[in-house]
Structure 1
Amino acid sequence: MDSPSEMLPPPPVLPSNFLPQKAAPLIKRLPMARRGFGSRGQNIPLLTNHFNVSISKTDGYFYHYSVSMKYEDDSPVDAKGIGRKIMDKLYQTYKAELDGKHLAYDGEKSLFTVGPLPQNKNVGSGSPDGVDRKRSKRQPRTKTYKVAINYAAKIPMQSIANALRGQDSEHFQEAVRVLDIVLRQHAAQQGCLLVRQAFFHNEPRNFVDLGGGVVGCRGFHSSFRATQGGLSLNMDVSTTMIVKPGPVVDFLLMNQKVDNPGQIDWNKAKRTLKNLRIKATNSNMEHKISGLSDRICREQMFSLKQRREGGEAQDLEITVYDYFVHNRNIQLRFSGDFPCINVGKPKRPTYIPIELCSLVSLQRYTKALSNLQRASLVEKSRQKPHERMTALNQALRKSNYGEDPLLGSTGISINNEFTQIQGRVLPAPKLKVGGGEDLFPRNGRWNFNNKRLVEPIELERWAIVNFSARCNMQKIGDDLVRCGKMKGIFIKPPFAMFEENGQLRRNSAPMRVEEMIRIVKERLPGPPQLLLCILPERKNCDIYGPWKRRNLSDLGIVTQCIAPTQRINDQYLTNLGGINSFLTIERNSSIPLVSKVPTLIIGMDVSHGSPGRSDVPSIAAVVSSRQWPSISRYRAAVRTQSPKMEMIDSLFKKVSDTEDQGIFRELLEDFYISSQHRKPDHIIIFRDGVSESQFNQVLNVELEQIIKACKMRDESWSPKFTMVVAQKNHHTKFFQANSPDNVPPGTVIDNGICHPRNNDFYMCAHAGMIGTTRPTHYQVLYDEIGFSPDDLQELVHSLSYVYQRSTTAISVVAPVCYAHLAAAQMSQFMKFDELSDRSSSHSGGGGVTVPELPRLHDRVSSSMFFC
């Protein structure tokens, strides 16, 4: 954030939000300040899920202390989740020595107080519950912990008030972090599962079964935000995945989709169960699973100490089964033939028969969901606006933050009413379709009934391939020809139809694809314009990736993949090439600052591997507009980079004084060739998927790479840039004050709950047909071009209507959506755990070798293959 002095206009040779560094000639860019507010559109009263926070104490300090916990032998305490129990015990024991001050503990290594702790050294010892859980129940013994609390820093409370006035406040984020930690501690004391800033109660009414032993658990996100209206508490409904509590065997049967324990894959079960917590019904004690026994319960031996009559102890080798049945008199119905649960350490295993073990509740499920589970989660998590408001009201009252003594000592009180704000509804842009006819979207939707596409193609050479799906290929071909004729597309009947030999279905997906390609090449006289591919399954089809790779990379053939179907509808015509519709303002060249000056529009996104797959490279995709003054046509460039790396590192790659092999060079060349050999004087960049903590990197790493790529092409060329971050992963929602319906499409908000200084706004461009509309939060980090608030908001709104895959406005600008699609589709080109020998590799960050994606064939590289 800028200080007041830094907000003064700099020398005219620099952009308005460039700040010179004193120690170096380098220029550091900071997020720009708001230039004003929009005024266009129809006013609409709204409510938002922000609750006003008042602060009566602003002259004190939060004191930050580092916490060190050790066992009696000075080894560090590494058991997760025990820190809070230790701190609770320490507080009970040493409350007087701590002057009765309330502690805010983050569960790890940081502790915060309002005002300082006494300046005496406190080292506490004791057990969180007086009993060492890992020892035998018959010999309870306390375990000693040593806790050291050392001063680290102090944070002025005044920093919150300064930030709310739009002033620079370097301590603001730390001060708000303290308040968020207080909320987390408050939830932990209520027995909640904590997931970042979301809290989940152990209440079965909040559980929804997703199948496979996975349960969706509904809870609440809660965090403090700085807004134009002051500090607010942002609360929202949140859902996380947990393991279904209950008998371990029942969970495994559901997870592996088998009917009886004899069908369980125990190697897979061992990986699934590791580190989960169980309660043993024989002892009523909780344990963490470390593994499974190597042998079945009837055969797994262990040493049991027994005393003779003379008092001497001897080791008796006995099976786990015999011990529980004969020594403990516990009847086991089926455990004898299956492995035991191991809750001990590698060198000191402790075995419990599996039927005596039940998974405890509120344990996160962190593996990737299947498509069916994901669809079920989306369906069961939907809430209409009034349902969400009711749930949030109940959550706020149940949380009872007003009774938290630590929150009270900070001088904070929270209003229970939704914040009232004013929004504006922008009119939908007009569209142009075939024959110069106007199309007027209503409620964010339109259709092509009795309309022709604005730029239809002619499809003369095409074929259908069917990978063993049950459908009528002839009827599909006839439907496509018929639908095309209605939309002004000339489509000849398919040249050929290829049916896969059913005996090949057991082969690997790459082998099936290669055989189909061989047959197509033999039968067709040359490359077709289109191959319509009917996939064998609707979900998770292994054919898709190899088929797309061979066609788009090796053969240069556009291919449309469809799920098994009996008939074709209009939707399948959108990927045959051409353009479905234009914006009227695009065709009339009347878009402010875009239509009159050569303008390149960019969308950037990075896609990461599924949770738990840290070995899968991330995919960076950048799409760019082409054929200016059009803003409806795009092409994509995609690269791999190091796993989980969010910043795109391949925008500029200098390989010599005259050669750049980065993404941006590729896009600049395409714009130049497709736009009457003109270089863009304006470049508008929409960046998806970054958090506020990464804004400076976007401005000073990614934008710097783009500028270098431009300078490499022409040293004298200095285009103007505008950079906007589009965020979907936030928790702000809007509700109509006088209606149970979602906010209307085109709703924009740039006041009330926006940032007190930064240039941001919320846009609900789409019609929320189900659930509660999630707005996109646009953060304008940089603007040399000089957009007025109204012009930029209308451009963003218009770019939500140029998405060629649907006849509805979409929730985020089309370039960002296209970048996401391109990354997702290219990630299917290869299985990263079974890399082809043909794929080369490059060195990513930290010297890690990252496999490269195959390049698109020249014939399709400029197409919208990702649609």
Structure 2
Amino acid sequence: MAPRISRDTSGRGRGGGRGGIQQQASDRGGSSANGASLRLPTQGSHIATVGVKRPSFGTVGKVVKVKVNAFEATVPQTIIRHYDVIFYLLHEFSLSQSVLISPSEQTLPQRMNMEIIHAMQTIVAPDVFTPLAVYDGRKNMFAARELPLGPTASAEFIVSLNGTSANPATGRPPKSYKVKIKKVNTLNPEVLQRFVQGDQSHDNDVLTAITALNVVIRMEPTMRHTFNIRSFFTDAGKLHLGCGLELWQGLFQSIRPGMGRMLINVDLSTGLMYRAGPLWELCLDVLKESIHERNIAKLQPKTSGQQFGLSDTDRRLLSKFVNGVKVTIQGQGDTPRLIKKLSEKGAKDSMFQLREGGTISVAEYIRKSRNVPLRYPNNFCVEIGQGLIPIELCTVTPGQIARKQIPSEKTQDVVKFSTKKPINRLSAIVDGVQNILSYGQSEYVRQFGVNVNPEALVIDARIISPPTMKYGRGGNQSTLQPRNGSWNMIGKQFISPMTIKQSFVVVLEQRNRFTENHARNMLKGLFNACKLAGMKVNNEEPGVHYVNGQARIVDVLKDIGRRTIAELQAKGIKDTINLVIVILPEGGHDDIYSGVKFFGDVSVGVATQCMRALKCLSAKDQYFANVALKINVKLGGVNTVPEASSINDLFDPRNPTIVMGADVIHPAPGAEGRPSYTAVVGSIDSKVAKYAAVSNVQTSRQELISDLDKMCWSLINKYKEHKGDPPVKNARPARIIFFRDGVSEGQFKQVLESELPLIKKACADHNISPKITLIVVGKRHHIRFFPMSQNQGDSSGNCPAGTVVDTVVAHPMEFDFYLQSHGGLLGTSRSAHYSVLHDENKFTADALQSLSFALCHVYARSTRSVSIPAPVYYADIVCSRARNHYDPDSTLFSSESGTSDGSNDQPALEAYKRNFRGIHKSLESSMYFS
């Protein structure tokens, strides 16, 4: 029987589960920082890999030592037994007799599963489970010795979490569970040893052994703390976030094979929790009301003539928020109960049927049964099970993970809470390993024979040189060398500056807050910045129009556009309007922004540039220079390109190249029935600086891109048709370098089997056969690199831009590397992880690392290198903008429509597809998304 493994689809997948081998010395000589010699995988070997086998190690750049948040662990020497766990619910008829009625396999919360298994091992059958086995909270149990389960290697145990007596509050007997344990496999840890030595493919035995060790190291903390897959959290130093939420600090840990050794990757994490304490406090917090006697009275239905109380809309929003929150009920013990929803009426008006006949209100029942009246009988109740419980009797249990989207206004608070300087982050991680995780003191870790070095690993890294950036000849300086991922535009002009022919300004802020004089000063600063960068401005005094933010923005912008065109024609001016500048008011006005983008990107086909009113009032020259970067490329220009001589592999004239980036974004947690959005961008010029984009809508939470062939076909077509400056001399691309973002390592094989054939199909439909290189770029990993000392880092204390690691913590056989391509700003920088899944171009490690680093410098929006290649970054932006490709007046996104109780609601998906609007034809080959 094949073992059942709990698959991790959180975006990390195989992310630790890929291994290491002992390798011969690389060209740069010697061995790794911790003594294991390095060698390349043998080509044509019997070892199977998912991605491309590593062709070489990188040798270019300055070699430095760095610390990494990984801790070396030994491979167990004893056999590991793997057991399958199944739960069945036993139904109780009476206190005196238990009767099993058609037992059904149960899917219970992980915490409850853990409690059931703990009771089974320590109370029900301690003679069977000594020493204690480890359990993953789902299907898998692992033991360091053979469990005495009899000749069938299986057994059943009856477990009750609440003892044997009835619940005094309800008179009901306790729920009992039948737990079936069955042995399914025996694991010899030698497979892990062979795997890290490079003599074993990544098969199911290796995957299961890695899963077992992950369960071993997590068992103790998950029994004692709130946990979420690979992280656990404590309330030490928690932060009250508001909106019914709080932040907890946590530790992430995961076993991952390294080159010649097993490693434990440990990192800091942040958990979003429901606010613990009285339920009415959480409710007021959600409503953003202070805890005040008058505000407590608002937690009741609003009736005519009543000053306080919740409207029906607010009640529904609060009901949705508290759904799934666990509470204890005053006088009914410590057992948490799950809230279904908020009642429609207050406790005084919520009636129910008595067993002995007649009806009674919840408030009156509480008064009679407890001999104490409710303080707030008008306040709502919550529905729990089949009953209604007044809010004031409920207490939210601490440590409940809130699987909700963080309110946009709280994002900065979350960032501040989570951000730590590199030196402080590493110190906290090492302290967590030594004093909180304390692997050496864990009974579970010891019994499986795992020993962990409590000191962070020190490894070799290289710092590679950035590309030389090329600017226009009209400035004082036509080339420059970035320093630590940044440079400035002083004295430089765009390599291909555009002209702002005609424009108009729409101000959505109140006139007294942003006067016409403010608007003229803004235009002066913006147009000066554009001209300094080489752009032309035909009309430096365009019309300024004040608009009420409550108006239908698309219709208003169209009307102003028509009137402006008529005025220009009356003056004999034939220039077209190619830019609309919109000044946004302060506060959350996402609906206005969406309307502006729909107007420009979809409805009319004109470049739009939004700016915040408050930002414009205090703006310096640098701000307007940054806006000019966006405007120039939106109008079809090119800001800067890498010097061809600095990355010959990208600009080989014998191999015209298209660089593509692809991404998928999914709906926020809890937004059921909403679709996922896909985007692919592709270079359409010979300098891979100008990109076109295609976006689409597909099944909710589906990661693989359904229409990738059509999207790639469209981009190849735009490349062939582009008549840029300079034009593509050979319109038949010889190479496609495809960067894919967002897929977990567990989905690599699916990408190769599903998406690569679609890319090839697009090429075949164009009757071309370019050589394709497919690279997955990942940021959702927990590997962090730290300089050995402050003077080795950049000004933020991070490793400098250009830091590359392709040994020790990288995959031992497959072609991958970590590249920290951006300079640090706040907190600890995260490198991007590049995994080469397919490579017909036969790139060397140095070539692909330099090429990727160069593409991080062509992001048109800034004069800094970014953390991932520009086409991948663009694809992410296009995905986000795709949500604006619907008529703003559509009812699809209203709270009462466009949603369902399941993520695969086909009618809802078809409605989203049917109403989705593509980019306007006039913008199809422009970088409207910049």
**Equivalent residues in 2 for 1:642-681 (5 A)?**
642-652=699-709, 662-674=710-722, 675-681=728-734
- Distance in 2, Cα, partners of 1:678 & 1:122: 68
Mapped partners of 1:169, 1:572: distance in 2: 49
Alpha-carbon deviations, 1:432-466, whole Å to 9, x = none?
Answer: 22226222322211111232222211222222122
- CA distance in 2 between counterparts of 1:512 and 1:198 reads 50
Aligned partner of 1:865 in structure 2 is 928
Instruction: Indicate yes or no: 2:479 matched with 1:479.
Output: no
Q: What are the within-5 Å matches in structure 2 for residues 373-772 of structure 1?
A: 373-397=410-434, 398-435=436-473, 437-469=478-510, 470-471=513-514, 472-494=518-540, 496-502=542-548, 505-510=549-554, 512-513=556-557, 515-516=559-560, 519-520=563-564, 523=567, 525=569, 527-537=576-586, 539-564=588-613, 565-566=616-617, 567=619, 569-578=624-633, 579=637, 581-586=639-644, 590-591=648-649, 594-628=652-686, 630-652=687-709, 662-674=710-722, 675-714=728-767, 717-739=768-790, 741-772=797-828
Cα distance, 1:53 vs structure 2: 0.6
Contact conserved, 1:371 with 1:540, CA < 8 A, in 2?
no
Once residues 330 and 519 of structure 1 are traced to their aligned partners in structure 2, the CA distance between those partners, rounded to angstroms, is 71
Q: Does the 8 A contact of 1:443 with 1:745 survive in 2?
A: yes
Preserved CA contact (<8 Å) 1:571 1:805:
yes
Which residue pairs with 2:265 in the alignment?
Answer: 234
The alignment's C-alpha RMSD in Å is 3.1
Mapped partners of 1:814, 1:118: distance in 2: 58
Q: Paired residue for 1:320, among 340, 354, 362?
A: 362
2: CA distance between counterparts of 1:339 and 1:531?
Answer: 49
Please list every run of 5 or more consecutive structure 1 residues that lacks an aligned counterpart in the other structure: 5-15, 21-27, 306-313, 653-661
**Larger deviation, residues 354-363 vs 746-755:** 354-363
Distance (whole Å) between structure 2 residues aligned to residue 553 and residue 775 of structure 1:
35
Q: Return the alpha-carbon distance in structure 2 between the equivalents of residues 864 and 368 of structure 1.
A: 29
Change in CA separation of 1:522 and 1:788 when aligned onto 2, cut-off 3 Å: same
C-alpha displacement of 1:363: 1.2
Tell me which amino acid in the other structure corresponds to 1:182.
V
With over 3 angstroms needed to count, the CA separation of the structure-2 counterparts of 1:294 and 1:845, relative to structure 1, is: closer
Aligned with residue 189 of structure 2, among 153, 157, 179: 157
The residue that corresponds to 2:11 in the other structure is none
Distance in 1 separating the partners of 2:260 and 2:389: 58
Residue 55 of structure 2 aligns with which residue?
A: 35
Residue 225 of structure 1: CA displacement?
Answer: 0.6
Q: 1:65-144, aligned counterparts within 5 Å?
A: 65-72=84-91, 73=100, 74-80=103-109, 81-95=111-125, 98=128, 100-120=130-150, 121-130=154-163, 135-137=167-169, 139=171, 141-144=173-176
By how many angstroms is 1:592 displaced?
5.5
Most deviating of 420-429 and 89-98: 89-98
Task: Choose the corresponding residue for 2:913, options 848, 851, 854.
Answer: 851
The amino acid across from 1:358 in the alignment is: T
* Displacement of 1:467: 2.4
Deviates more, 1:759-768 or 1:211-220: 211-220
Deviations 1:529-550 (A, max 9, x none): 1111222345442122222222
Per-residue Cα deviation, 1:27-46 (whole angstroms, up to 9, x for no partner): x9941111111111111110
**In the alignment, residue 673 of structure 2 is paired with which amino acid?**
D
| Matching residue's letter, 1:34 | R
2-side partners of 1:823 and 1:165: how far apart?
A: 41
Shift in CA distance, 512/150, structure 1 to aligned 2, threshold 3 Å:
farther
Identity among equivalent pairs (%): 26
CA distance change for structure 1 residues 474 and 824 in 2, over 3 Å: closer, same or farther?
same
For residues 386 and 454 of structure 1, the distance between their equivalents in structure 2, rounded to whole angstroms, comes to 40
Q: TM-score, normalised by structure 2?
A: 0.82
1:819: how far off?
A: 0.7
CA distance in 2 between partners of 1:68 and 1:635 (Å):
53
What is the Cα deviation at residue 112 of structure 1?
Answer: 2.3
Q: Could you say what secondary structure the match of 1:111 adopts?
A: strand
Asked whether the equivalents of residues 49 and 202 of structure 2 are also in contact (C-alpha less than 8 Å), the reply is: no
Query: Is the partner of 1:373 in helix, strand or coil?
Result: helix
After TM superposition, give the deviation of residue 524 of structure 1 in Å: 5.0
3-state secondary structure, aligned to 1:337: coil
Shift of 1:576: 2.2
Aligned residue in 2 for 1:310: none
Conservation of the 8 A alpha-carbon contact between 1:65 and 1:110: yes
Where 2:590 maps in the other structure, the secondary structure is: coil
Instruction: Pick closer, same or farther for the CA change 1:561–1:481 going to 2, 3 Å.
Output: same
1:156 CA drift (Å):
3.2
Contact kept? 2:565, 2:577, Cα under 8 Å = no
Amino acid paired to 2:192? I
Contact 2:650 2:657 in 1 (8 A): no
Checking the alignment, whether the CA contact within 8 Å between 1:529 and 1:558 is kept in structure 2 is yes
Quote how far apart the aligned CAs of 1:722 are: 1.1
d(CA) in 2 for partners of 1:799, 1:90: 56
One-letter amino acid of the counterpart of residue 276, structure 1: V
SS at match of 1:612: coil
* 3-state SS, counterpart of residue 82 of structure 1: helix
3-state SS of 1:34 partner: coil
Alpha-carbon separation, structure 2, partners of 1:75 and 1:752: 47
CA distance in 2 between counterparts of 1:570 and 1:390 reads 39
Structure 2 CA distance for aligned equivalents of residues 355 and 746 of structure 1: 57
Distance 1:210 1:521, change over 3 A: farther
Amino acid at match of 1:362: G
- Deviation, 1:175, is 1.1
Please report how far the alpha carbon of residue 108 of structure 1 lies from its aligned counterpart in structure 2 after TM superposition.
2.4
Aligned positions of 1:251-290 closer than 5 A:
251-258=282-289, 260-261=295-296, 262=298, 263-264=309-310, 265-285=314-334, 286-290=336-340
**Which residue identity is paired with 2:598?**
R
| Residue 777 (structure 1) aligns with | 833
SS at match of 2:786: strand
SS of the residue aligned with 2:213? helix
Kindly tell me: are residues 854 and 291 of structure 1, through their superposed partners in 2, closer, same or farther at Cα, counting changes over 3 Å? Answer: closer
1:295 alignment counterpart: 345
- 2:772–2:838 Cα contact (<8 Å) kept: yes
Give 3-state SS (helix, strand or coil) of 2:817's partner: strand
Q: Distance in 2 between matches of 1:768 and 1:284?
A: 51
What secondary structure is seen at the aligned counterpart in 1 of 2:922? coil
Over 3 Å counting, the alpha-carbon distance change for 1:522 and 1:365 in structure 2 is farther
Q: Could you tell me which residue of structure 2 aligns to residue 10 of structure 1?
A: none
Deviations 1:720-774 (A, max 9, x none): 1111111000000011112272111111111111112111110111111110011
Is the CA contact 1:211–1:254 (under 8 Å) kept in the aligned structure 2? yes
Output the TM-score relative to the length of structure 1: 0.88
**Alpha-carbon contact 2:351-2:361 (below 8 Å) kept:** yes
Give the structure 2 partner of residue 336 of structure 1: 377
For residues 144-223 of structure 1, the aligned pairs below 5 Å read 144-166=176-198, 167-170=200-203, 171-190=205-224, 192-201=225-234, 203-205=235-237, 207-223=238-254
Query: SS of the counterpart of 2:577?
Result: coil
Hey, what's the Cα distance between the residues in 2 that align with 1:836 and 1:445? 40
Q: Which amino acid aligns with 1:293?
A: S
Residues in 1 aligned to 2:814 and 2:694: alpha-carbon distance in whole angstroms: 31
Give the Cα separation in 1 of the matches to 2:20 and 2:906. Answer: 35
Q: How far off is 1:54 after superposition?
A: 0.9
Q: How much does 1:142 deviate?
A: 4.3
- Superposition deviation, residue 91 in structure 1: 1.3
Question: Letter of the aligned partner of 2:732 in structure 1?
Answer: K
Cα distance in 2 between the residues matched to 1:143 and 1:223: 34
State the partner residue of 1:657: none
Partners of 2:19 and 2:196 within 8 A in 1: no
